[in-house]
Structure 1
Amino acid sequence: MTQTAERPTTTPAYAQRGSSHFDVLVTLMAVVIVLSNIGASKGVQLGPIITDGGFFLFPIAYIVGDVISEVYGFRAARRATLLGFGASILAVLTFWVLIALPGFSDDYGLAKQAALETALGPVWQIVAASVAGFLAGQLSNAWVMSRMKARTHERALVLRLMGSTGVGELLDTLLFCTIAATAIGISSITQWLNYVFFGFLWKTLVEFAFVPVTRLIIGWLKQREPSYQAALHQR
């Protein structure tokens, strides 16, 4: 009787998330999300381009998400995303309490109260848009990266980064721009199309431009995470 040798199955290597590096990445993602949500409450006009005040900061959240997905895996990326939104919800509740607290009744106090209501009042709508958009976008981004890594392992990192970006940013931009549009003053289909198109283009191009930097960070983390190196040697 002849026996057929079975090919050993291998799984992609990931580091364990119980490290200081993971904590720093999650903290950075949470801070970026909270600040981006505050900035996004302001509509911005740059020539013919319509965007919001969070445009220059928000792509960093996706870059951090790519790093977490590649080094720590899909579950770690999902955990980081949920923690980021927990921070956003806490910020919204804080703003709500701040606005509700009775202020001074002089002209300066009334002016400050009105300014707070105008600036921070719409943030809840931005956070709702951010939750829907980033949850769908970042989780799909992480899922695509993990599925591609299951096939390619340590190869084709650039392809994983760019392919997952297109999927994640498209879902994120469509959902976020649709829900947040009225909060920043968009009132027509033409403005909305402008907001969606340039938002998707900007965030995607920024992530593509940062691919060399993202690769360096990922390589640096893989070398310095003992659990990642251990996972590589166990394959």
Structure 2
Amino acid sequence: MRLFPVIMALFVTVLLVSNTVAVKVTHLGPFYFDGATILFPIAYIFGDILTEVYGYKRSRIVVWTGFTACVMMSFVYWLVGILPAAGDWHQQEAYLSILGQTPRIVMASLIAYLCGEFVNAFIMAKMKIATRGRFLWTRTISSTVVGQGVDTVLFVIIAFSGIIPGSLLMHMILSNYVFKTAFEILATPFTYAAVGFVKKVDAVDYYDNDTDFNPFRVSFKDMA
């Protein structure tokens, strides 16, 4: 599995960068979304590739690796933020406004990520068995429609419910969901090419026929 560690590293990198740039909220046309929206769908594409090629068991390890990395990142941002600033360094407020960790946002991000990614991987794996490995596009799109839906709804509601008006809350959910889902659909040719390339290089095409889909049952034997 020469490409597995590379794809895992890219997945975690995209995840960390997405969570960092999520602090900026932007408004383009009818869409109202945070900065992570333009990048986070790529994590789902990597997730699709991992599950399609290497199976749910190995994807489960990657999901938990990403979760651990996000926790560590949030902790370091928080720790650096509470350290006393040097007398001649006047950017403390700027640092806190961008990288200061709000417990509610962190919790929303982690819960939404875990639930969305595991739903995405579960649907990919089950549909691959049901379709006997055919019609990849049905799996990538279906898993994204449900996984991104779970992720978006959980994050926005946990992070912003009671803080912004209900109408804006719904608008943000719809904007994020439509953008992310459309991104995945448009990226289908790329996903096909990437999956084919990885299967060829690593000579792997795993089917989760006997897999225990409990997301908490992680064993590093699955890396073998």
TM-score, with structure 1 as normaliser = 0.82
Structure 1 residues 186 and 197: CA distance shift in structure 2, 3 A: farther
- Partner residue, 2:158: 179
- Partner residue, 1:13: none
1:194 aligns with 2:176: no
**RMSD of aligned alpha carbons:** 1.9
Larger deviation, residues 116-125 vs 23-32? 116-125
> 1:204 Cα deviation (Å)?
0.2
> 1:44 Cα deviation (Å)?
1.6
Mapped to 1, the partners of 2:186 and 2:111 lie a distance apart of: 26
Deviation >6 Å, runs of 4+? none
3-state SS, counterpart of residue 36 of structure 2: coil
1:226 aligns with 2:203: yes
> 1:42 Cα deviation (Å)?
1.8
Mapped to 2, the partners of 1:144 and 1:227 lie a distance apart of: 19
Task: Say whether the 8 Å CA contact 1:41–1:122 is kept in structure 2.
Answer: no
Question: Which of 132, 135, 146 matches 1:153?
Answer: 132
Question: Which of 114, 117, 121 matches 1:135?
Answer: 114
For this pair of structures, how many residues does the alignment match?
207
> 1:97 Cα deviation (Å)?
1.5
- Partner residue, 1:90: 72
**Bigger Cα Rg:** 1
Mapped to 2, the partners of 1:20 and 1:125 lie a distance apart of: 38
- Partner residue, 1:216: 193
- Partner residue, 1:20: 2
Mapped to 1, the partners of 2:14 and 2:159 lie a distance apart of: 18
Structure 1 residues 210 and 186: CA distance shift in structure 2, 3 A: farther
**Post-superposition CA distance 1:159-193 (Å, at most 9, x none):** 111111111111111001112227xx961111111
1:81 aligns with 2:81: no
3-state SS, counterpart of residue 20 of structure 1: coil
Letter aligned with residue 37 of structure 1: N
> 1:45 Cα deviation (Å)?
2.1
Task: Say whether the 8 Å CA contact 1:142–1:164 is kept in structure 2.
Answer: yes
Structure 1 residues 66 and 132: CA distance shift in structure 2, 3 A: same
TM-score, with structure 2 as normaliser = 0.86
Identity %: 35
**Post-superposition CA distance 1:112-150 (Å, at most 9, x none):** 111111111145543322211121111111111111111
